[in-house]
Amino acid sequence: MARRVTKAIFPVAGLGTRFLPATKAMPKEMMTLVDRPLIQYAIDEARAAGITDFIFVTAKGKSALEDYFDTSAELERTLTEAGKTDLLETLKSTYMPSGAIAYIRQHRAMGLGHAVWCARRLIGDEPFAVILPDDVIDGPKPCLQQMVEAHAETGGNMVAAMEVPRDKVSAYGILDLGSANGSLLRVRGMVEKPATEEAPSNLAVIGRYILSPQVLTNLSRAEAGAGGEIQLTDAIAEEISNSGNVYGFRFEGHRFDCGSKAGFLQATIAFGLSRPDLREELAEYITDIATPRIAAQ
């Protein structure tokens, strides 16, 4: 059995340029799907997977993220006095135990690999998870929990993998696959943002990882890769030749790319429709506005 994963890194220091001007003064991770910010979905998924130490890699302009997890005496008092127990429970579900969250600063957005490396002193010599909050995954079981369970058997390094259309491979890290055992795939190679004709498959890495501390050592030596950024993919790929212990994990669930406008809007609709208090009204509205357009096409 591999060592249990209890620490997770949340790299949230990116500039979020695809959501400008909104992200000029607000972290992308605070954008809400229905009524919960993206970061709350990520934290809930990590908690379900048994994570107890939450490490945020933040940057200038992200202080709303830090405030979000504080307790709020005034809100608590107001809701208690008004007898709004449901809302009080909702509020308390955002509270985190003292000391459970650490914030590390990335001084310049030098890429995902660099952001993860910034957290190295808090990881030490144990496996750790990385969660990108803008990948929101809706599934029968939280994605990271599926991966932690699989990792308990395999150890090593594991990346969440999903098929993407061939013409989209150049937006992702793409896997070169060896043997498969159910949802577990042995990885022979990884390439960041390949040209369509050079991609070894259409199986893409998305924002959930379980990594060995060796990846942090690889990152210490890393030089800028695709797009001039320090790439996490390159540091994981090094482990294929070092230890041969890199797996792709085909998770069960639907992934929404909430870092893109289209993905974020799709997630908003899907999560809205999954809420019993909103479903009917929203479905009716969508049918209403979609019908004349479909008929007109």
Chain contacts with ligand UTP (rule: CB under 6 A):
11-18, 28, 57, 106, 109-112, 114-115, 132-134, 259
- Nearest by Cα to 189 from 180, 181, 199, 171: 199
Q: How far is the CB of 214 from ligand UTP (least distance, A)?
A: 21
Q: Are 240 and 190 in contact (CB under 8 A)?
A: yes
Helix (H), strand (E) at residue 187? strand 184-192
- Nearest by Cα to 146 from 239, 45, 56: 45
Per the structure block, which two tokens stand in for 242? 């070092």
Q: How far is the CB of 257 from ligand UTP (least distance, A)?
A: 9
User: Whole-angstrom Cα distance, residue 143 to residue 251?
Assistant: 6
Nearer to ligand UTP, 150 or 206 (CB): 206
Cis peptide before 21 (omega within 30 of 0): yes
Q: How far is the CB of 57 from ligand UTP (least distance, A)?
A: 5
Q: Are 69 and 77 in contact (CB under 8 A)?
A: no
Looking only at Cα atoms, what is the longest distance across the chain?
Answer: 63
User: Whole-angstrom Cα distance, residue 2 to residue 155?
Assistant: 5
Nearer to ligand UTP, 5 or 205 (CB): 205
Task: Specify the DSSP class assigned to residue 11.
Answer: E
Q: How far is the CB of 169 from ligand UTP (least distance, A)?
A: 16
Q: Is 152 exposed, middle or buried (0-12, 13-18, 19+ CB in 10 A)?
A: middle
Helix (H), strand (E) at residue 203? strand 203-211
Nearer to ligand UTP, 55 or 57 (CB): 57
**How many contiguous H segments (helices) and E segments (strands) does the chain have?**
11, 13
User: Whole-angstrom Cα distance, residue 5 to residue 208?
Assistant: 13
Nearer to ligand UTP, 18 or 250 (CB): 18
Q: How far is the CB of 112 from ligand UTP (least distance, A)?
A: 4
User: Whole-angstrom Cα distance, residue 184 to residue 149?
Assistant: 12
Q: How far is the CB of 135 from ligand UTP (least distance, A)?
A: 8
Per the structure block, which two tokens stand in for 272? 């809205």
Nearer to ligand UTP, 255 or 272 (CB): 255
- Residue, CB closest to ligand UTP: 14
Q: How far is the CB of 60 from ligand UTP (least distance, A)?
A: 12
Per the structure block, which two tokens stand in for 237? 């790929």
Nearer to ligand UTP, 9 or 147 (CB): 9
Nearer to ligand UTP, 112 or 246 (CB): 112
Q: How far is the CB of 64 from ligand UTP (least distance, A)?
A: 14
Q: Are 10 and 116 in contact (CB under 8 A)?
A: no
Nearer to ligand UTP, 200 or 263 (CB): 263
